[in-house]
Amino acid sequence: MCKASTYINNTDSNNVVFKLVQFFINDLKALLFNPAKPFSRGQGYNFADIELMIDCWVSCFRINPHNIEALKVCLNLSSPQAYHFVIVCSLLRLAHIYVDFRLQNKNPFRIVNQPRLSWWPQTDVVHYRSAELRALFTDTLNKATQGYIAHTPLRYITSLTLKSKDTQKGLTRAEEGPAHKMLLLLLVRLIHADPTLLLNTQGKVAHEVQSSTLELINGLVSLVHQTTMPDVAQEAMEALLALHAPEKIEVWNPELRSIRSGT
């Protein structure tokens, strides 16, 4: 019902669907986005649970983009990894890119050219969380490149993400690695699709802006040379190209903007 309500013009606040959604939306978010008790209906529902959380996050964002509680949970590095998958896949979906975890050893990305409704919010309201997205990228990059194995069935990866944080601490590197690698691939694809999500450095002076972005760019450059993760390496090259589009360079290199404007 939350998803259905996003297809109704939000100026129609008296619509019965909106009214019904308001009765349960907070309880729904509390159920799905509780890091102390990650939502799970059991091993047989891993894919469905992840999809449900993604649908819920996207719908809640479209209903009220300024309600950030679920966003804060998903971006918290100490939250179970399932929430990291949810936020990255949700942001990809807002960019019309759908992730299918069932496609093992294949390209999991599908571009869906769904017409954007005029009342759906832009992702600009997420830009102020750029620092947390960059931190998630750096954290995942470090974990994924610390000698973990590169290939494990994606159904196993998804089951790992739904474990509690305490359970994940007991996993071996061989168990954790594939999930980190998959999350890294999704993050790099997100940078490729919408680099501005990770470039907001509002309030910082020029050298701070460059420093904030340097780690991101260096991380992507390091991935280009990762022969054990060719799919990630390819996406990293595409992401670097996206970051070096003229209009994007001016975002992370404000000195260039000053030179062009003659100031």
| pLDDT at residue 257 greater than cutoff 60 | no
| Cα–chain center distance at 94 | 10
- Domain coverage including residue 125: 2-203
Residue 238 belongs to a domain:
no
- 158 found inside a domain: yes
**Which has more pLDDT, 119 or 172?**
119
In whole angstroms, give the CA distance from residue 70 to residue 1: 18
Q: Which pLDDT does position 152 carry in this prediction?
A: 41
* Structural domain contains residue 226: no
Average pLDDT of the segment spanning 16-24? 84
Per-residue model confidence (pLDDT) at position 145: 87
Q: What is the pLDDT of residue 172?
A: 43
Q: What is the mean pLDDT of the chain?
A: 81
Task: Provide mean pLDDT across the span 192-210.
Answer: 77
Given a cut of 50, is residue 149 above it in pLDDT?
no
Comparing C-alpha atoms, which of 36, 35, 44, 32 is closest to residue 2? 32
In 103-122, which positions are buried (b, 16+ CB within 10 angstroms) versus exposed (e)?
A: eeeeebbeeeeeeeeeebee
Whether residue 212 is contained in a domain is answered as no
- The answer to whether 98 touches 200, Cβ cutoff 8 Å, is no
Q: pLDDT value at position 125?
A: 81
Is 126 part of a structural domain of the chain?
yes
Compute the average pLDDT of residues 60-86.
Answer: 92
| pLDDT mean over 153-174 | 46
Q: Find tokens 């280009």 and name the residue.
A: 224
How much is the average pLDDT of 141-152? Answer: 67
For residue 235, tell me if it sits in a domain. no
Mean pLDDT of 133-142: 94
- Give a yes or no: residue 254 inside a domain: no
Read off the pLDDT of each residue in 133-148 and give the average, rounded to a whole number.
87
What average pLDDT does this structure show over 89-118? 81
- Residue 153 burial (10 A CB sphere; 0-12, 13-18, 19+): exposed
* Nearest of 64, 66, 74, 70 to residue 125 by alpha carbon: 66
Does the residue 102 lie in any domain?
A: yes
43-52, 110-119, 150-159, 190-199: least confidently modelled range: 150-159
Residue 159 confidence (pLDDT) above 60: no
| Mean pLDDT, residues 172-183 taken together | 73
What is the total count of domains within the chain? 1
pLDDT exceeds 50 at position 198? yes
